[in-house]
Amino acid sequence: MATYSRLPGSVALITLQNPPVNALSAAVRQGIVDTVQRALKDPKVTSVVICGQNGRFCGGADIREFAGPMLGPPLVPMIHAIEAVDKPVVAAIEGVALGGGLELALGCHYRIAHSKALLGLPEVTLGLLPAAGGTQRLPRLIGLTAALDLITTGRHISAAEALKLGILDQVTDSNAVDLAVDFVRSVAGQPLDSRRLSTLACPCPPDVDSLLDKVMAQVRQRSRGALAPVACVQALRAAATLPYTQGMEKERDLMATLFNSGQARALQYAFFSQRVVGKWSLPSGANWNNSTGRTISKAAVIGLGTMGRGIVVALALTGMSVVAVETQEKQLAEASQAVPAMLQREAGRRSLATPPGVITFSSNLQDVSEVELVIEAVFENMALKLQVFRHLASVCGPGTLLCSNTSGLDMDQLAAVTKSPALVVGMHFFAPAHVMKLLEVVCGPRSSPEAVATAMQLGKRMGKVSVAVGNCPGFVGNRMLKPYLEQANFLLEEGATPQQVDEALEEFGFPMGVFRMSDLSGLDVGWRIRKEAGLTGPGVEPSRTRQGRRYSPLPDQVCEAGRLGQKTGRGWYQYDGPGGRVARSDPWVHIFLEAYRAQHGLVARSIAPEEILERCLYALINEGFNILQEAMAAGPEHIDAIYVFGYGWPRHRGGPMFHAGQVGLGRVLERLEHHHHNHPDVPHLEPSTLLRRLVAGGSPPVQKWREFINKDRVHSQL
């Protein structure tokens, strides 16, 4: 709703009320229509201020309403009516003015904001465009070039930037509503024609077409199949080339196409998934709402390889003191040079004037005795990690939280060698750890609610999307990745090339296919993990069946040939020397694959992109169903957030579990059965019991899966 009050000096104050972000629900829109009418009709009112309750102007249209029929007054005529009012209307912006919230403010005649306010048109991130006149008013106010940037990226900008761009008329460090009230009194009676943005011409650079073509090309390249950014450019072309009314028609038509698209549904699902995962719970009943984490002010990181360095930077950026320990002198010397530079760069990228935290480098484990939390980030080797944990147990007090940055090892085994197993949790970071948004918080069977809450809160402080997961090999992300990678290798055995596999996955929307990604991260990484699992290495039988199932030794052989990827200039592709970035097809790989197939009596066949996608993606999704059934992830949203934020799953496809629902669970089941029939020696292709149950239960939408999962769970860790 919206409340109305009359202030001294003939000012009407309209306050939007819909906590927590004053989203423009049907009730709020009705409230605005009614209160604006009242202000218009009241002869004692000469001017109007619109603000939001609780220091938040407006977070935009109410996204939850998009799932059902749109009721209540529509936004476009509501904003148009405000613009047409013949008394000055000022938007007093505190907190946020996003999406429809900013569009509402653009319909006002003036905009005044608090210096800490954030503004933006993020509709593109929800698969939409600013269809309440935003694509037509903003370019008329700030020019085509700046509007293209804001609308196609959806980025939030500070009040200072908004002032510079001309979106705001004034910015204050004090109360924005008070200033707006004073301001509107001072402009009462002045002509408003030039303040009505819909009546202005759109300032454009001389060569509009080439600018629009350039931006369209950039957007298509960046968005990898996403529809909304392309529609935004089309709407802005209309703003630049057509009268306002026709531009609005174009905006409406483009929105109509986007609004009901699968991509919009996927992106809105991704928005809510990101928020759902913060609300973790454990089988004991402990959850985000009833458990208190510790506030950490001093932490340590053990091991200063690539991961450890990134973790130090991520921690330091929160402002805490960090003891960074590395026992190898050479590595320590390199890290103490590299880490401050990384910190400086990252602080700059986040527009922080000075890097906040204090880092102390040390080669002595004893130096962590005073910290409140330790993150071990040594090599992924259980014996080594156990050694470090035993050492930490003797050096640190019994109340210190001990965390491991493992990508899949048993946290309970590590907890067992400490004095307080309840204070042990996994914190699985993704490289580069100071940049990547995902953090898997691994809850062992003995991890206490306090330990989980502390790790989840710390993740949030570091700006991560933290997802609580259960303690199983590979946790959630890497466990699902295994069958995906395995299928990619099998496809090479059967006749595909690395390019064909990568192209199919990149066409789907991944930023990189599996082989390009493997070259980037280094083939030795996977090789070491497989060696640790006893799948490869000296003494392991070199057959295509290992540990009772089909195995492809192809990546081991490429790695053992010294082809470690980009860092050696050769891997699945060739590069212009070590460290090169541009992947080119390598005749060596094709000869190698032919020789391998001949050696094993395999006849190459032509493989369609559809089969590549089905085999790789459905094997991964199938493992997701097993994970849900075993309660290693609390719900499909958790898996989807992990894949979107940690594994490059295209956001406009929602995540693997959401995607399965979009494809149709029956279809996914049928294709898995088909591929399993053709490859009975691949257990990962055998459809999960949960998937079968969901299909038998009528393939409910993803939001309803939990009802089935809870009936079907085999263990319960989350």
Ligand X SMILES: CCCCCCC/C=C/C(=O)SCCNC(=O)CCNC(=O)[C@H](O)C(C)(C)COP(=O)(O)OP(=O)(O)OC[C@H]1O[C@@H](n2cnc3c(N)ncnc32)[C@H](O)[C@@H]1OP(=O)(O)O
Of 83, 103, 251, 440, the catalytic one is: 103
CB of 131 to ligand X, least distance (A): 4
Q: Is 20 in the site for ligand X (CB under 6 A)?
A: yes
Q: Please state the separation of Cα 99 from the chain's center in Å.
A: 19
- What does the block give as tokens for 391? 């050492």
The mark string for 224-263 relative to ligand X (x by CB under 6 A, - otherwise) is -------------------------------x---x----
Burial 251-267 (b: 16+ CB within 10 A, else e): beebbeebeebebbbbb
| Residue 123 among the catalytic residues | yes
Interface with ligand X (CB under 6 A), residue from 107, 122, 408, 687? 122
Among 12, 48, 61, 378, binds ligand X (CB under 6 A): 61
Strands 424-429 and 438-443, bridge-based pairing: antiparallel
Nearer to ligand X, 75 or 657 (CB): 75
Give ∠ CA 245-103-58 in degrees, rounded to 5: 160
Task: Report which residue type is found at 212.
Answer: L
Nearer to ligand X, 76 or 333 (CB): 76
For residues 194 and 86, give the distance between their C-alpha atoms in angstroms, rounded to a whole number. Answer: 12
Number of residues lying near ligand X (CB under 6 A): 25
Strand partners, 114: 172
The answer to whether 126 contacts ligand X (rule: CB under 6 A) is yes
Q: Cα 192 vs. chain centroid, distance in angstroms?
A: 42
Q: What is d(CA 641, CA 286) in angstroms, rounded to the nearest whole number?
A: 22
Residues 423-452, one symbol each (x = binds ligand X by CB under 6 A, - = not), give: ------------------------------
**With CB under 6 A as the contact rule, which of the stretches 55-63, 239-247, 443-451, 456-464 interacts with ligand X?**
55-63
Binding of ligand X at residue 346 (CB under 6 A)? Answer: no
Q: Could you report how far apart the first and last alpha carbons of the chain are, in Å?
A: 38
- Residue (64 or 600) nearer to ligand X, CB: 64
Is 132 an interacting residue with respect to ligand X (CB under 6 A)? yes
Which residues share a beta bridge with 429?
A: 439
Determine, following the binding rule CB under 6 A, whether residue 54 of this chain makes contact with ligand X. Answer: no
Specify the residue, 459 or 565, whose C-beta has the smaller distance to ligand X. Answer: 459
Helix axes 656-663, 619-629, angle to 10 degrees: 110
Q: What residue type is 381 in one-letter code?
A: N
| DSSP helix/strand/coil, 377 | coil
- Residue type (1 letter), 452: V
Q: What is the DSSP letter of 652?
A: G
Smallest gap from Cβ 504 to ligand X, in A, equals 32
Among 11, 12, 13, 23, contact with ligand X (rule: CB under 6 A): 23
Q: What is the Cα–Cα distance from 159 to 143, expressed in whole angstroms?
A: 18
Distance, CA of 354 to CA of 348 (rounded, Å): 8
For residues 132 and 296, which CB has a smaller minimum distance to ligand X in the complex?
Answer: 132
**Binding region for ligand X (CB under 6 A) out of 3-11, 19-27, 548-556, 694-702:** 19-27
Residue nearest to ligand X as judged by C-beta position:
99
Helix (H) or strand (E) holding 301: strand 298-302
**SS3 state of residue 537:** coil
One of 83, 94, 123, 630 is an active-site residue; which one? 123
Q: Does 641 bind ligand X (CB under 6 A)?
A: no
Interaction between residue 21 and ligand X (CB under 6 A): yes
Q: Which stretch in 91-99, 231-239, 400-408, 449-457 sits in contact with ligand X by CB under 6 A?
A: 91-99
What contacts 591, CB < 8 A, 6 or more positions away? none
Kindly list the residues in this chain that would bind ligand X in the complex (CB under 6 A).
20-21, 23, 59-64, 70, 75, 96, 98-100, 122-123, 126, 128, 130-132, 255, 259, 275
Q: Which residues are marked as active site?
A: 103, 123
